[in-house]
Amino acid sequence: MAPKLVSVDSAVKGIRSNTRVWLHGTSATPTPLVEAMVRRHESLSNVEVCHVHTEGSADYAKKEFSKSFKMNAEFVAHNVRNEVNQPHATMTPIMLHQIPKLIRSKDFPVDTTIIQCSPPDRHGFMSLGSNVIATKVAMDHSRHVIGMINPNFPRTFGDATVHMDEVDVLCEEAMPLHCNASRAGGEIEQTIGKNVASLIEDGSTLQIGFGGVPDAVMGFLTSHKDLGVHTEMLSEGVVDLMQKGVINNAKKAVMPNRMVASFALGSARLFETINDHPGLMMMNVDWTNDPRVIAQNPKVIAVNGAIEVDLTGQSVADSIGTRIHSGVGGQLDFMRGAAMSEGGKPIIALPSRTKKGAARIVPWIKQGAGVVTGRYDIDYVVTEYGIAKLWGKSLEERAKALIAIAHPDDRANLTAEARKRNLMP
């Protein structure tokens, strides 16, 4: 029997102390339920709140509520970045495709899952909309599922489809989705985007993320043909290419003629585009990000960012020194999938310097920083100064190629340090 509608505050009464709660995340974060949960803090203790990248308020992560809640993020977003670097909160380093496996295991029991969903259709089916990742798996392995129906929420298909019978308690709250408008890329981002686009052939399958560089890449693909999308994150850059027919998914081997993603992050325009779109399948991340699945597609282009890259090709993307910035996410999943794909190209794209002028092609990574893509997995590195192809190259050849695409004012120092390390004569 379908659950009756209750108030937002009543919906969270089933959360118990000394248990683990899984939160629906990114643009689908059910903020009214999150805030209602925090309002219950005096009656709760030792509730571990887990998620992959939430948006909106995250007071459960604050020190003042640490007796009631402890955050354990599997990917760190801006709203909890300060807290995760304090002792009262934590994160779990894990590749995105392994999170469903973790939830299914006895090592990570989930008691309660909190979701946002679309209104039910006449058959009682709802949708997880803009975010699947591991939420459907968490629902299937929870004692208790709390749902918030949002009439503004998009309906998507694939693993996003859930039935009212799978939810124990439902409330209804109209709210706009959490939007992240793309950052307008400047001249540097445009140049990097043009460099990356030069590596993309017709018939390629794309994994391109969020931000100024990815959007710039998409802007240089308007004359391409038969592009496909198989990605973890669907961003706004796909919309224009879909409408122009550049993205038609005709050459894909996995789910041909359909885009594949696990979550969407962008503006209201993106969410309007994916709503009820039969050409988009939102799938569990252990499938979308499985390198063996990714590799079945032809010419997979994986474009990912980095915080810094050292002269041997080690790429840091989750931390700035010892300070956690984000997480591993799906970078390595797609880098390896692209490397195994026939004609695939794994690409790290980054500006040569930070906005404050610090070098991002460096002699060695900062102490305490985490390597996300190792020198054995890396292939292309792209900056505004060019393209370095590292796969199959010696340490000497790598150092020379990376110095050549570093900022000109950093090249002398990089050359001197490379010689000190005996990387080059």
Predicted pLDDT of residue 184: 58
User: Does the pLDDT value for residue 289 go beyond 90?
Assistant: yes
Token pair 């340490």 in the structure block, residue: 395
Predicted pLDDT of residue 210: 73
Specify whether the CB–CB gap between 199 and 345 falls below 8 A.
yes
Tokens, residue 348: 């790290």
Closest CA to 96 of 191, 214, 233: 233
Q: Any idea where the domains of the chain sit in the sequence?
A: 5-172, 187-420
pLDDT range class, residue 185, cuts 50, 70, 90: confident
Closest CA to 115 of 3, 239, 231: 3
Q: Catalytic site residue 417?
A: no
In DSSP notation, 299-350 reads SEEEEE--SEEETT--EE-SEETTEE-S--TTHHHHHHHHHHSTT-EEEEE-
Q: What are phi and psi of 300, to 5 degrees?
A: -70, 125
Selected catalytic residue, list 189, 232, 236, 308: 232
With a pLDDT cut of 90, the percent of the chain lying above it is: 94
Q: Which residue has the higher pLDDT, 203 or 181?
A: 203
Q: 3-27 b/e with 16+ CB inside 10 Å = b? A: beeeebeebbeebeeebbbbbbbbb
CA geometry: angle 267, 212, 239, nearest 5 deg: 45
User: Does the pLDDT value for residue 243 go beyond 90?
Assistant: yes
Token pair 């890329």 in the structure block, residue: 185
Predicted pLDDT of residue 410: 98
Tokens, residue 7: 């108030």
Predicted pLDDT of residue 183: 63
Q: Average pLDDT of 271-296?
A: 97
pLDDT range class, residue 338, cuts 50, 70, 90: very high
pLDDT range class, residue 344, cuts 50, 70, 90: very high
pLDDT range class, residue 407, cuts 50, 70, 90: very high
Total-model pTM:
0.95
User: Does the pLDDT value for residue 1 go beyond 80?
Assistant: no
Do 187-420 and 5-172 have the same topology in CATH? yes
Helix (H, G, I), strand (E, B) or coil at 47: strand
Q: Output the CA–CA distances (angstroms, integers) from residue 234 to 49, 95, 184, in the order listed.
A: 25, 18, 17
User: By mean pLDDT, which of 182-191, 227-236, 341-350, 385-394 is the weakest?
Assistant: 182-191
User: Does the pLDDT value for residue 182 go beyond 80?
Assistant: no
> Residue 247 gets which letter from DSSP?
B
User: By mean pLDDT, which of 125-139, 175-189, 211-225, 246-260 is the weakest?
Assistant: 175-189
Q: Average pLDDT of 87-105?
A: 96
pLDDT tens, residue by residue, 138-177 = 999 999 999 999 999 999 999 999 999 999 999 999 999 9
Cβ-proximal residues to 163 (8 Å cutoff; 6+ apart), any chain: 124, 125, 126
Predicted pLDDT of residue 4: 79
CA geometry: angle 268, 78, 240, nearest 5 deg: 30
Predicted pLDDT of residue 291: 97
Domain 5-172 falls under CATH 3.40.1080.10: yes
Instruction: Please name the amino acid found at residue 282.
Output: M
Pairwise CA distance, residues 316 & 297, whole Å: 27
Average pLDDT, whole number, for the chain? 96
Specify whether the CB–CB gap between 201 and 223 falls below 8 A.
no
Pairwise CA distance, residues 7 & 30, whole Å: 14
Supply the CATH classification number for the domain 187-420: 3.40.1080.20
Specify whether the CB–CB gap between 65 and 39 falls below 8 A.
no
- CA R_g for the chain: 22
Instruction: Please name the amino acid found at residue 279.
Output: G
Pairwise CA distance, residues 149 & 165, whole Å: 14
Specify whether the CB–CB gap between 99 and 286 falls below 8 A.
yes
User: Does the pLDDT value for residue 213 go beyond 90?
Assistant: no
User: Does the pLDDT value for residue 211 go beyond 80?
Assistant: no
> Which is it for the CA torsion 124, 130, 133, 138, positive or negative?
negative
Residues counted in the chain: 425
Pairwise CA distance, residues 284 & 137, whole Å: 8
pLDDT range class, residue 2, cuts 50, 70, 90: confident
Helix (H, G, I), strand (E, B) or coil at 131: strand
Q: Average pLDDT of 286-313?
A: 97
